[in-house]
Structure 1
Amino acid sequence: MEAKRIIPCLDTKDGKVVKGTNFVGLRELGDPVELAKKYSNDGADELVVLDISATTEGRETVIDVIQNVSQNITIPLIIGGGIGSIEDIQRVLDAGASKVGINSAAVKNPQLIKEAAEKFGSDRIVVAIDAQKYGDSWNVVTHGGSKDTGLDVVEWSKEVESLGAGEILLTSVDTDGVKNGFDIPLTKAVSEAVQIPVIASGGVGTLEHFVDVFKETKVAAALAASVFHENTFTVDDVKTACKEQGVEMREA
C-alpha cells in the first residue's frame, strides 16, 4: 500500500484565506503565507492553494500570492483557480508551483489536459473535479459549483486519466464545509475507476473521518481546510490517528 498524504488547502479570495459551506457563505480565516508556513512546518505532505473566485470573475490566478507562498514553504505546492491555457500553467509553474490544478478549463477544452501533460509532464497536472449528487449518480460542476455540466463524474475521471492527468483532486460540493465526513460513496467510486492518485476533499470534521476515507476507499491523499485553519487539530494529530488505525502515512 502506498503511504497516504495529508494536504491542507488554502481557498483564497482577494489575497485572503476564506472558507464557506457548500461553496457559499465565505468567511475570512487568515493570511495565506502565514498559514502556508505553519502547515509546511507542521509536517503537511503538500499544500493546495485555490484562487476560488478567479474563474467566476473571469481573471487570472493571483501570481504574487503563489510567489510569496512558494518562497516560504519546503513542501510541494499545488495551485488552482482561473487557469485556462498552457500560458497560464507556465506562468503558475514559473511562479513557484510544483503542480497545477485545472477544473473548468479542462471541462471546456479536454485537449488542454493532453497538451499540458505532454508539455509539462503528467506528474505536474492535477485535474480538479467538483462533484454534486444528482439522483443515483454525480455530475461535474464548474465555476465554483454554480454550473452543472451534465457530465458523469466517474466517466469524466476516466477520461481525464486517459488524456494524461497525473492526479485527480475530487471535491464533494454536497459535503464541503459541512464537517460530517468525506463523501465515501463518491470517493470510492472514483478512486476505484482510475489508476492515478485521487485526493479526497470536502467534509472532514473529525480525525475519524480521515481514517474512514483511507480505510474505505483507495484514495492516495486527503485534503482539509477549516479543521486546520481553526486549529481543531494539527497535521500531526491526523497522521498519528491514522497510523494508530493501521494506515501507512507518508513521513514528511
Structure 2
Amino acid sequence: MGLRDAGDPVELAARYDADGADELVFLDITATSDGRETMVDVVRRTAEQVFIPFTIGGGIRTVDDARTMLRAGADKVSVNSAAVARPELISEIAEVFGNQCVVCAIDARRRATDGSASDGWEVYVAGGRTPTGIDVIEWAQQAESLGAGEILLTSMDRDGTRDGFDLELTAAVSGSVGVPVIASGGVGTLDHLVDGVVTGGADAVLAASIFHFDDHAIAEAKAHMIAAGVNVRP
C-alpha cells in the first residue's frame, strides 16, 4: 500500500498529548481485511501515558469488542466496515455505552463519471479498498439516526495526497447531519486545516503525516487556525 513507518504509536501519542493535541485517533486500517483483532495492548499502553481523549478503530465487530477497547482505556470506539455490513451494531454499542462513545468512520470516494460533486460519493470499506454502492450522505444520516455521536469522514481520493480535504464532500456531509463531523484525508499545509472548518464546515479536523514527520508542530497548527479566526481549544 506504499505505507511509511511513522514510529511507535504509543510514543507518538504521548508526544502529541504533551504538544497540545485535543484528541487522538488510532485506526488499525488493516484489521478488518486481515481478520485481526484491534491492538488491545496499544490501547492499554496509550491509556497509561495519555490524558486526552482517544478513539480506537479497526476490526470492532461486536459490543464485546467495543467493551474490550473501552475497558482497556479508550474513550471512544470507531466502527466502519462492520457497521456497513450490520448497521444495528451502531445502536447496540450506543445503547450500552452511550452515543458519545460511538464514532462512525466513513471512507468516501467520488462516484466518478466526470468527478463532479453532482455524482455524489460512495462508501468504501476494508481500509478504503472495497466499494459498497452505498451513498455517503445517506449512510451518514443513517449512522446518526442509529446513534453515532460523531462522523469521522475520510476522503480516500485525497488521503495521502497532501492536496487538502475534499471540501465539497466535507460540506455536503456536515450540512446533512446534526452530529459533529471530523474531516480527514489530504492535509498537507496548515491552511488546509483552516479550510476544513471554514469552507468545509467540519467541527474538527484530523491530520497525521504533517505531524508524524515533523513538517509542523501542533502548537503551530493551533496558532495558525486561531490567527485565521477559527475557534480552537487553548
TM-score band by shorter chain is over 0.9
Secondary structure, counterpart of 2:122 in structure 1:
strand
Q: Which residue is 2:134 aligned to?
A: 151
Q: Which residue is 2:216 aligned to?
A: 233
User: Structure 2 residue aligned with 1:73, among 21, 46, 50?
Assistant: 50
Q: Does 1:55 align with 2:20?
A: no
Cα deviation, 1:186-222, whole Å, max 9, x if unaligned, reads 0000000000000000000001101111111221110
Aligned equivalents of 1:246, 1:177: Cα separation in 2: 27
User: Structure 1 residue aligned with 2:69, among 92, 95, 119?
Assistant: 92
- For residues 1-252 of structure 1, the aligned pairs below 5 Å read 24-135=1-112, 136-251=119-234
AA matched with 1:145: G
Segment of structure 1 superposing worse, 211-220 or 37-46? 211-220
Cα deviation, 1:128-174, whole Å, max 9, x if unaligned, reads 00001113110000001121010000010000000010000000000
Between Structure 1 and Structure 2, how many residues are aligned? 228
Question: Percent same amino acid at aligned positions?
Answer: 53
Aligned equivalents of 1:38, 1:97: Cα separation in 2: 17
Cα deviation, 1:70-127, whole Å, max 9, x if unaligned, reads 1111100100001000010000001100000000010010001011111100000000
Secondary structure, counterpart of 1:148 in structure 2:
strand
The answer to which structure has the higher strand fraction is 1
Aligned equivalents of 1:111, 1:214: Cα separation in 2: 30
CA RMSD across the alignment: 0.7
Q: How does the TM-score come out when normalised to structure 1?
A: 0.89
Unaligned runs of 5+ in 1: 1-23
Aligned equivalents of 2:155, 2:48: Cα separation in 1: 31
Aligned equivalents of 1:62, 1:210: Cα separation in 2: 29
Secondary structure, counterpart of 1:139 in structure 2:
strand
Q: Which residue is 1:15 aligned to?
A: none
**Structure having greater relative contact order (Cα 8 Å, sep ≥ 6):** 1
Unaligned runs of 5+ in 2: 113-118
Aligned equivalents of 1:74, 1:106: Cα separation in 2: 28
Aligned equivalents of 2:212, 2:109: Cα separation in 1: 25
AA matched with 1:39: Y
AA matched with 2:72: A
Aligned equivalents of 1:43, 1:53: Cα separation in 2: 28
AA matched with 1:40: D
